[in-house]
Structure 1
Amino acid sequence: MPLIADSGSTVIPLAGGNLAWIFVVAVIALGALGVAGILAKEVLAASEGTENMKRIAAAVQEGASAYLARQFRTLAIFAAVAFFLLLALPADDWSQRIGRSVFFLVGAAFSATTGYVGMWLAVRANVRVAAAANESGSPRAMRIAFRTGGVVGMFTVGLGLFGAALVVLIYKGNAPNVLEGFGFGAAMLAMFMRVGGGIFTKAADVGADLVGKIEQNIPEDDPRNAATIADNVGDNVGDCAGMAADLFESYAVMLVAALILGKLAFGTQGLVFPLLVPALGVITAVIGIFAVSPRTGDKNAMAAINRGFFISAVVAVVLVAIAAFTYLPSKISSLDHVDPSVLADAATKDPRLIALGAVVIGIVVAAVIQVLTGYFTETTRRPVQDIGKTSLTGPATVVLAGIGIGLESAVYSALLIGGGVFLAYLLGGASLTLSLFAVAMAGTGLLTTVGVIVAMDTFGPVSDNAQGIAEMSGDVGEEGAKVLTSLDAVGNTTKAITKGIAIATAVLAATALFGSFTQKITETVGKVHSPKLGSVEQSLQFNGVLNVGDPRNLFGLIIGAAVVFLFSALAINAVSRAAGAVVYEVRRQFREIPGIMEGTGRPEYGRVVDIVTTDSLRELVTPGLLAVMAPIAVGFTLGVGALGSYLAGTIGAGVLMAVFLSNSGGAWDNAKKLVEDGNFGGKGSEAHTATIVGDTIGDPFKDTAGPAINPLIKVMNLVSLLIAPAVVQLSIGTSANAGVRALIAIVALLIIVAAVWNSKRKSIAVSDSNSDSSSAVGSGPSAAVEGPAGAPGAPRSGDEDTSMEASAQSI
């Protein structure tokens, strides 16, 4: 008997009007890319400001492009390995195996494209926002920044929707099996980009702040600080490219979950309606993006952004209601090819009300997260003002207040997300399949506003970069500087909001994917013919995946929660190591290069870019391997019951940890902005120093570890979904099967141990005496920041500078 056998599948026909609807969805998806082109043209038509501002922007552009080029080459190796591993996993036939692997690459490529486009336009928009703030004031500057995010939002919905529609058009009723690969590709690449970009941006940011602001008492983004270019590059490769890829994979994975369960719950229509909802979301996104237009009576830019978001949410509800009552019948029993178990439990239920109710729940969850996150991170609200007040008593109380606010906000957000999941689950009544489909549709509903959500997220780093360019150039007047400071503070809040919404999608998608996980186990067990099936089924917990009374399951639950903590620790420690290297390099330059403080000496910006590039690409490997290998180790060691509990532990710990890290970091950052606006002593005071300490602690919290937990949860769920049939099949049968299972588990465990040990053996920081060690310039296979011809890098020898170094010296 073969170890992993293929078996036949039941194909749901998809033709006629239903097929026509899928074509319409694909056309709408391509239309979203056309809207992106229109918005990009508007952004690029804006003034770039002075020649000095253009030179600074050019250095940032070159550094960001070179980093992503090198990162993509690194990730291509992982993608190639995953492609062949997916071919080895069970599927109903070889066409689905091949399709799953091919669309894994498509998902990864679309995720990379979304991230790259976000970075490419952001590094061109930042200088235009700075120029607009100086020349035209707040409304024009805000419009450019938000329209930049709108381009990324349109790419997210366009590519995500087109990829899913393409799979359904090609594979029709078998699409769910292939969609697993598409979602996994998007999630895996996003996780690597989020971790690598997060390490890059926060290592440069922390190093720049600790030396520049605290030790040298010079302003943020002062051109005398050698880490300023790396800091501004990092905003784009981490917050723009990384978060854009992250939100794309949230969109793609949510569609995957909805379509997998939609096939079971709604039959033929279940492969169409989950695509119609996000197609309507394209329309609402366009409305929301164009609705974000500042008015005279607005308190700040956040008022205009909130208005656009809520307008798009209301329009989404109306359009989804029309679609549900137009496309779906009034009874479950009237749907085509519905699973018999659904008919038995819910034959008389109204699918229109279930679908609409679930979508409304998702939209409401997104709206409440927006309000809740804003309360804990906006400068005008009490939590941030309280942190600002504690700065009068020193950095320790700032840190304690931020941690307290982060922990408290995590509770409310987790309860909100959990409540949304439960309410959606209740819509299915006695049918488990229908309930889980409702949860998936709630996630899809939440993402009907994803175009505006992505625009909100990109708005943050573009505004931050614009302020940096203004500071470094010295060409922006006092009024323009105030505008940019205000936009930057609003950007901190919008970034925190989008991270909260992203973790909500992770929980909704994980819950829905967990239903797919248990369904796949049941299907695999049904295909295995064994006289001992009853006892084997009992021993493998096929009917009690979450029975924590079984010690194996409880152990799996604890491991799942522990992996979230270990993953966060690895990401934060990576930032600490790289930031330590930056601190020593910037100190060295202040000490050894004559005339830096007087403005006559030239900092070596390229050396800092090289440090954070080399470290971030090396450090992203361990968290990535942990995310992929941990579910494999648990599943093949302890069984599918423990693997299911492992996922539950990951979801529970992940949602709390992600919100805590994100909101505490956002609150610390805005507390610093509050002091810099002249409160509690203003810039240069002891209170300012205290808030800088809090902000530097919060940097890896909110921009590295916290947001990376979102793709982590989905990567581990998709890995578990993909390996579940193999775990079941290798758990039943001959001793040879047991040997293969043990071998796979041992290899996965050894990879995890080796990766973590390799990470732990590195020193936590680089000292002056060993600054040329593994974290210093010249380490790794190439000392330069590799990329296309003319890409930036560190000086190779003597006075020989790369193009980025040369352009940076013009500042």
Structure 2
Amino acid sequence: MDVIPSELVLSGGDRAIVIAVGVVALVALVIAFVLRAGVLAAGQGTPRMREISEAVQEGATAYLGRQFRTLAIFVVIVFGLLFVLPADTVGERIGRSLFFLVGAGFSAFIGYLGMWLATRANVRVAAAATTEGREKAMQIAFRTGGTVGLATTGLGLLGASFVVLVYVGEAPKVLEGFGFGAAMLAMFMRVGGGIFTKAADVGADLVGKVEQGIPEDDPRNAATIADNVGDNVGDCAGMAADLFESYAVVLVASLILGSAAFGAKGLIFPLIVPAIGVLTAMLGIFLNKARPGENGLRTINRSFILSAAVSAVASAVASFVYLPGDFAALGLPGEPGNPALIAFLAVLIGIVLAAVILWLTGYFTGTETEPTQDVARTSLTGPATVILSGISIGFESAVYTALVIAAAVFGAYLLAGSLIVGLFMIALAGCGLLTTVGVIVAMDTFGPVSDNAQGVAEMSGEVSEEGARILTELDAVGNTTKAITKGIAIATAVLAATALFGSYSDAIGKAISSALGELSGLTGGLLDDAGDFVDVGTGFFVANVVQPGTLVGVILGAAVVFLFSGLAVNAVSRAAGAVVQEVRRQFREIPGIMEGTNRPEYGRVVDIVTRDSLRELATPGLLAVFAPIAVGFGLGVGPLAGYLAGAIATGTLMAVFLANSGGAWDNAKKIVEDGKYGGKGSDAHAATVIGDTVGDPFKDTAGPAINPLIKVMNLVSVLIAPAVIVLTVGDSANDAVRILISLAAVAIIVAAVVVSRRRASTLQADSAEPTGAPGRRS
């Protein structure tokens, strides 16, 4: 079976549905604009609060501008390379390359929108907490996220529906470029923004809280503006782009496999389900209203559950109305079951998966649950026990989350009676999860907006005591929602990557068929020298896992996740070291900072982390793009399949471990700051601050970046698979060229890693003793 039937034709009714989906996408963008206007209409507080907010806006805009100029080089290079890679038709090749630019552009726009609005919402949330109360402050923060969430779903759905309408049978191949562009930009923004935000945060905490004994956002700390800028370029811009590319890549996988399994209806149904999600996201965002005395997390969870429940009911209606009741109507008379029923069950699995991960992550990272309370309790015995307890929570929670995701993947697969339909069901589970993305983005953006609002309030000193209490509560809720969205994001990555295996297998099967002659005259299948198998009936490639080369690929895939994580954490360490030295220098050399009679040089720290983060993001990015090329051309398509399997399995566990450990440490610090175990300024507080500084690059740099990493590597593999086969089998086989390409990729990776390891920080290490150490309160 050809997984991408180019002869596919849409009926008039199908075209009407695609147009309707496009209209829903446009409505989402209009509603996003309305929400944006409502946020901007809120009061901005005092002149001092506005001054601080404008400084954050200026720093964030300057950073993203420099980042986009840097990434433009990568975009141009990849755009050219996509023209070189094989494609079935000239239209596919041109469309794939053009929509790579569209995907990258949309991802950049979503990231910029998230940053732009969040930097303007922070002061409004701070002002509302003092003048209008908790409910209004929470509404502004959540609707800021809702704006970005609806823009994310609207642009993703608009791009996909336009491609399906114009390219029809060629749409899945063209959407590979769309998804790759979105994923590549998101990964770079995730890494660069994550390095920026955590370098500033770690530096501010270590010198300000631990050495000088001053509050987190005290205006005397030179790193505070950079810290608040970082929340926006990392958590808002980076995560918004991340979830947009998750949306795009799941749609790519669904359309590729749907067109194979269900024909035209399989090309349309994956658009209908996310369109339902757009409508229910509007419902969840507009109906979100905090009740007096209610925990903020419960309020947000209620919005999520409402949206998910309505999506489940609407998806059931869409499945039974649009899809036939037997497979014979879809041209698959031998397939058992009811396609409408199993499609709905697959979507339901994805919705339930999102809800379970929401609960599971909230349990392990929430301020009111036992695991995080235990981490806070260990602060009584010092930073070592805080770190050990947080690590143990990360390890344990990763296992449970991985089991839940694995159960969802296998459950969706068991709904079908054949490989291709099973893979499509996994992709539909991803679509089910996508129905909640609008609310998920709102939940994620809520975190940094609340964090920044607290920073503006503390730096200005012009927020009431009740307002400060409200903002502290919202900040703690935001820490949990950020952890939850990271868990859901990695789940989408696993579902999309598993489904993309179908596209990878088909690309190889078609390339082998072209190189060795049509397989239709054979029976059973075709084995190559490595024992890998091409099934004649479906055209699918199946890797032989017992073959040593495939096992080597599994090990390499797992190793790349570890190396990528290490590079990201090490980059934060180097950049944070520069921040620490600069903040110490300012306390030492600029008179009057501690007395409040002189202002620190905030711009110096912003400039340091901007330069460091931009130069550090290249190495992890090059690793993600060139490692699959090295393995594929060097070892073959079987080991490359193993490589992807190793990366997905290890990446799932690593990402959840890093995110949940960091979330638990952060909220343990909040528990102590709220007065437990000695409160602020105590030894217990210092212990949790150290735990939090370890967790910062875990949860906000390395962990979230693994999500786009997995999908970038999968898409690169799908794109290069035909070229690998062309150089491996048939008359065009050329081992010399294949090995040269692999060696060139390895050389690029090695050079990037070596340069990264040898790179000095922006500032030379200062050997002087930290001048603020004696001032620490105990």
TM range (shorter): over 0.9
Alignment of 1:660-679 (within 5 A): 660-679=657-676
SS at 2:513 equivalent: helix
Deviations 1:171-198 (A, max 9, x none): 0111111010000000000000000000
> Does 2:100 correspond to 1:104?
yes
Structure 1's unaligned 5+ residue stretches are 1-7, 772-811
Q: Is contact 2:655–2:706 with CA below 8 Å preserved after alignment?
A: yes
- Give the paired residue count: 756
Query: What are the superposed Cα offsets for residues 566-585 of structure 1, whole Å, 9 maximum, x if unpaired?
Result: 00000000000000000000
Distance in 1 separating the partners of 2:324 and 2:561: 43
Q: Structure 1's 486 and 297: CA in aligned 2 closer, same or farther, altered over 3 A?
A: closer
* Partner residue, 2:582: 585
Q: Is the 8 Å Cα contact of residues 274 and 441 (structure 1) preserved in structure 2? A: yes
Do the aligned partners of 2:515 and 2:730 also contact (CA within 8 Å) in 1?
Answer: no
Say yes or no: does 1:700 pair with 2:688.
no
Aligned to 1:315: 310
Match of 1:728 in 2: 725
Question: Partner of 1:219 in structure 2?
Answer: 215
Show the 5 A alignment for 1:422-441. 422-429=410-417, 431-441=418-428
The change in CA–CA distance for 1:571 and 1:327 in structure 2 (over 3 A counts) is: same
**Partner Cα distance (2:99, 2:377) in 1:** 52
Q: Is 1:738 the equivalent of 2:729?
A: no
Q: 1:286 aligns with which of 277, 282, 287?
A: 282
| Deviation sequence 1:302-360 (CA, Å, 0-9, x none) | 1110110000011001111111111111112112xx5xxxx2641x5211111100000
Give the CA deviation at 1:530.
5.5
Tell me, in whole angstroms, the C-alpha distance in 2 between the residues paired with 1:683 and 1:282: 43
Which of 356, 365, 373 is the aligned partner of 1:385? 373
- The partner residue of 2:40 within 35, 41, 44 is 44
Q: Which residue of 2 aligns with 1:303?
A: 298
Aligned equivalents of 2:766 and 2:36: distance in 1?
48
Q: TM-score, normalised by structure 1?
A: 0.91
Shift of the 545–328 alpha-carbon distance from structure 1 to 2, 3 Å rule, reads closer
Query: CA shift at 1:205, angstroms?
Result: 0.2
The counterpart of 1:537, out of the listed 504, 510, 528, is: 528
Q: Which residue of 2 aligns with 1:324?
A: 319
Secondary structure in structure 2 of the residue aligned to 1:405: helix
- Would the aligned equivalents of 1:545 and 1:645 in 2 still touch at CA under 8 Å? no
Asked whether the 8 Å contact 1:633–1:746 carries over to 2, the reply is: yes
Q: Aligned-pair distance for 1:768? A: 4.0
Contact preservation (8 Å) 1:104, 1:186: yes
Q: Deviations over 1:519-578 (max 9, x none)?
A: 111122122235999887343724474433211001000000000000000000000000
Give the Cα–Cα distance (whole angstroms) in 1 for the partners of residues 303 and 135 of structure 2: 14
Contact 1:522 1:542 in 2 (8 A): no
Q: Give the drift of 1:400.
A: 0.2
Match of 1:453 in 2: 440
2:349 paired with 1:361: yes
Aligned to 1:762: 759
Contact conserved, 2:350 with 2:408, CA < 8 A, in 1? yes
Alignment partners' CA distance in 1, 2:482 and 2:526: 51
Describe the SS at the equivalent of 1:547: coil
- Distance change in 2, residues 1:319/1:52 (3 Å): same
Match of 1:398 in 2: 386
Establish whether residue 656 from structure 1 lines up as the match of residue 653 from structure 2. Answer: yes
CA shift, 1:723, in A, is 0.6
Task: Give the counterpart letter for 2:623 in structure 1.
Answer: L
The residue number in structure 1 matching 2:773 is none
CA RMSD in angstroms comes to 1.7
Which residue of structure 2 lines up, in the alignment, with residue 442 of structure 1? 429
Q: Distance in 1 between matches of 2:754 and 2:479?
A: 35
Residue 9 (structure 1) shift: 6.7
Distance 1:326 1:496 in 2: 37
Per-residue CA deviation, residues 169-228 of structure 1 (Å, 9 max, x unaligned), is 110111111010000000000000000000000000000000000011111110000000
Q: CA offsets, 1:489-527, max 9 Å, x none? A: 000000000000000000000000011111111122122
Return the letter of the residue paired with 2:267: L
TM-score, scaled to structure 2: 0.95
Deviations 1:442-488 (A, max 9, x none): 00101101000000000000000000000000000111000000000
User: Residue 539 of structure 1 aligns to a residue in which SS?
Assistant: coil
Does the CA-based 8 Å contact 1:443-1:509 persist in structure 2? yes
User: How do 1:48-447 and structure 2 match up within 5 A?
Assistant: 48-298=44-294, 300-335=295-330, 338=331, 343=332, 345-346=334-335, 348-429=336-417, 431-447=418-434
Distance of aligned partners of 1:80 and 1:698 in 2 relative to their CA distance in 1, 3 Å threshold: same
Aligned equivalents of 1:62, 1:721: Cα separation in 2: 40
Q: Is the 8 A contact 1:540 1:639 kept in 2?
A: no
- Name the stretch that deviates more: 370-379 or 736-745: 736-745
Q: Secondary structure of 2:289's partner?
A: coil
1:293 partner SS: coil
What is the CA–CA distance in structure 2 between the aligned matches of 1:105 and 1:133, rounded to whole Å? Answer: 41
Q: Which ranges of structure 2 fall in alignment gaps of 5 or more residues?
A: 535-540, 769-778
Alpha carbons 1:576, 1:765 under 8 Å: kept: no
Partners of 1:150 and 1:535 in 2: CA distance: 51
Shift of 1:296: 2.2
SS of structure 2 residue aligned to 1:528: helix
Query: Take 1:768 and 1:750, find their aligned partners in 2: how far apart are those partners?
Result: 30
Three-state SS of the structure 2 residue aligned to 1:599 is coil
Q: Any idea what SS the aligned residue of 2:151 has?
A: helix
Q: Which residue pairs with 1:644 in the alignment?
A: 641
Q: Does the aligned pair in 2 maintain the 1:542–1:640 contact within 8 Å?
A: no
Whether contact under 8 Å (2:630, 2:746) holds in the other structure is yes
What is residue 571 of structure 2 aligned with on the other side? 574
| SS class of match (1:471) | helix
Residues 515, 731 of structure 2: 8 Å contact kept: no
Q: What is the distance in 2 between the residues matched to 1:753 and 1:734?
A: 33
SS at match of 2:291: coil
Matching of residue 713 in structure 1 with residue 710 in structure 2: yes
For residues 296 and 733 of structure 1, the distance between their equivalents in structure 2, rounded to whole angstroms, comes to 71
